């Protein structure tokens, strides 16, 4: 488990769904950019969980060698995932791929691995997920509980027509969580050699805004955003930054910018968020609705 490895690199949850397969391919490319190890994790479901369902189950419902059959299926699934990871890279030898099989739910082992991982990657929904409505239980559990950044990946259809030089977008509100998001976003933009679009919205709702004072407010907002970025621009001189300040709801602006981006980075909670307990309202809405890969910049 995670305690046995001081540096677990990139960890990805695998269940064979289309979103999971997209997550594996994305994670393989992320690992190659870092020169990091890629660990594929699949969780076997305990059949005893059926006892919690209010449905009669015959005594002989589970085959005598249930776990043997499930392990064989899991081995095939992990082998398929390994092939997907290899096919995602021009040179598969640039990364080391490892496989991990666990029993029980998928969230707990991925949370445990996140204590040592650089990033955990999951599909937005797994098998049985409600299409276009909610995050799956695994992705939702991780963005609330992980100890490192969590990348949530939809299928790759949204990126097929996206330019290879489409930027990375980060939302900044001045909170400690958004400061960590800035750190993650600069790293991702640098590795990908992409422009970074840094968004700051002055108000949660434009309904509260008195229009006559907007020029002064915007000038101060520009100044605040420049201050937030200054140290990181010195650390990453290779990253071209485009600053965007808007008088608008941050959710609306992040979703709009995501339409021409290839990666979105948000903090785990914003101003007033309860650290380690809930996902901020902006981050939660964005992760639920955005169609491109999004990194929730969680940290211990």
Percent of the chain with pLDDT over 90: 48
Answer yes or no: do 11 and 142 share one domain: yes
Least confident of 79-93, 98-112, 181-195: 98-112
46 pLDDT higher than 70: no
Count of alpha carbons within 13 Å of 284, Cβ hemisphere only? Answer: 12
Is the model more confident about 99 or about 203?
99
Residue that finishes a domain, picked among 112, 131, 156:
156
> How crowded is residue 222: how many other Cβ atoms within 10 Å of its Cβ?
14
Helix (H, G, I), strand (E, B) or coil at 74: helix
Residue that finishes a domain, picked among 123, 156, 189:
156
Q: What is the mean pLDDT of residues 182-202?
A: 95
**47, 74 Cβ separation under 8 angstroms:** no
132 pLDDT higher than 60: no
Answer yes or no: do 117 and 201 share one domain: no
Answer yes or no: do 181 and 57 share one domain: no
Query: pLDDT at position 135, please?
Result: 57
Answer yes or no: do 151 and 173 share one domain: no
Query: pLDDT at position 14, please?
Result: 95
Residue 55: give the domain boundaries: 2-156
Maximum Cα–Cα distance across the chain? 75
- Cα angle: 222, vertex 164, 263; to 5 degrees: 50
51 pLDDT higher than 60: no
Query: pLDDT at position 106, please?
Result: 84
Whole-number mean pLDDT of the chain?
82
The interaxial angle of helices 281-289 and 250-258, nearest 10 deg, is: 30
Answer yes or no: do 131 and 257 share one domain: no
The interaxial angle of helices 176-192 and 214-235, nearest 10 deg, is: 60
Q: Which CATH number does the domain housing residue 14 bear?
A: 3.40.50.12370
Which residues, other chains included, contact 251 with Cβ-Cβ below 8 Å and sequence gap of 6+?
A: 282, 285, 286, 289
Which residues, other chains included, contact 206 with Cβ-Cβ below 8 Å and sequence gap of 6+?
A: 247, 248, 249
Query: pLDDT at position 288, please?
Result: 87
Please name the residue ranges forming H helices in the chain. Answer: 18-34, 66-87, 107-114, 137-145, 176-192, 214-235, 250-258, 281-289
pLDDT per position as a tens digit, 231-273: 999 999 999 999 999 888 889 999 999 999 999 999 986 444 4
- For the chain, the domain total comes to 2
Res. 207 pLDDT band, cuts 50 70 90: very low
Residue that finishes a domain, picked among 156, 185, 213:
156
Q: How far apart are CA 92 and CA 28, in angstroms?
A: 9
Is the model more confident about 11 or about 53?
11
Query: pLDDT at position 128, please?
Result: 45
208 pLDDT higher than 70: no
72 pLDDT higher than 80: yes
**124, 26 Cβ separation under 8 angstroms:** no
Q: How far apart are CA 11 and CA 28, in angstroms?
A: 10
Q: What is the mean pLDDT of residues 212-217?
A: 64
Q: How far apart are CA 106 and CA 217, in angstroms?
A: 46
Query: pLDDT at position 129, please?
Result: 41
Count of alpha carbons within 13 Å of 112, Cβ hemisphere only? Answer: 13
> How crowded is residue 177: how many other Cβ atoms within 10 Å of its Cβ?
22
Q: What is the mean pLDDT of residues 99-108?
A: 87
96 pLDDT higher than 90: yes
Q: pTM of the full predicted structure?
A: 0.85
Answer yes or no: do 140 and 59 share one domain: yes
Q: How far apart are CA 184 and CA 213, in angstroms?
A: 34
Answer yes or no: do 178 and 151 share one domain: no
Res. 111 pLDDT band, cuts 50 70 90: very high
Helix (H, G, I), strand (E, B) or coil at 41: strand
Query: pLDDT at position 174, please?
Result: 73
């Amino acid at each position: 488990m995670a305690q046995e490895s001081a540096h677990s690199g990139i960890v990805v949850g695998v269940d064979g769904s289309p979103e999971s397969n997209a997550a594996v391919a994305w994670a393989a490319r992320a690992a190659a950019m870092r020169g990091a190890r890629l660990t594929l994790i699949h969780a076997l479901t305990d059949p005893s969980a059926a006892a919690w369902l209010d449905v009669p189950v015959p005594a002989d419902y589970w085959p005598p060698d249930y776990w043997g059959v499930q392990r064989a299926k899991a081995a095939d699934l992990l082998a398929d995932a390994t092939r997907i990871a290899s096919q995602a890279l021009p040179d598969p030898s640039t990364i080391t791929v490892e496989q991990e099989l666990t029993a029980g739910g998928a969230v707990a082992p991925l949370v445990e691995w996140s204590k040592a991982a650089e990033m955990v990657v999951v599909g937005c929904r797994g098998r049985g997920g409600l299409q276009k409505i909610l995050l799956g239980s695994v992705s939702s559990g991780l963005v609330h509980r992980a100890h490192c950044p969590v990348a949530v990946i939809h299928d790759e259809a949204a990126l097929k027509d996206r330019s290879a030089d489409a930027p990375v977008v980060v939302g900044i509100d001045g909170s400690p969580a958004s400061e960590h998001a800035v750190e993650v976003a600069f790293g991702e933009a640098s590795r990908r050699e992409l422009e970074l679009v840094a968004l700051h919205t002055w108000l949660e709702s434009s309904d509260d805004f008195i229009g006559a004072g907007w020029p002064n407010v915007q000038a101060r907002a520009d100044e605040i955003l420049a201050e937030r970025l200054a140290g990181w621009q010195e650390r990453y001189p290779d990253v071209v930054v485009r600053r965007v300040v808007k008088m608008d709801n941050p959710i609306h602006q992040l979703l709009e910018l995501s339409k021409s981006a290839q990666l979105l980075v948000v903090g785990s909670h914003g101003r007033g968020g309860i650290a380690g307990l809930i996902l901020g309202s902006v981050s939660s809405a964005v992760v639920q609705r955005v169609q491109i890969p999004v990194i929730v910049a969680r940290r211990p």
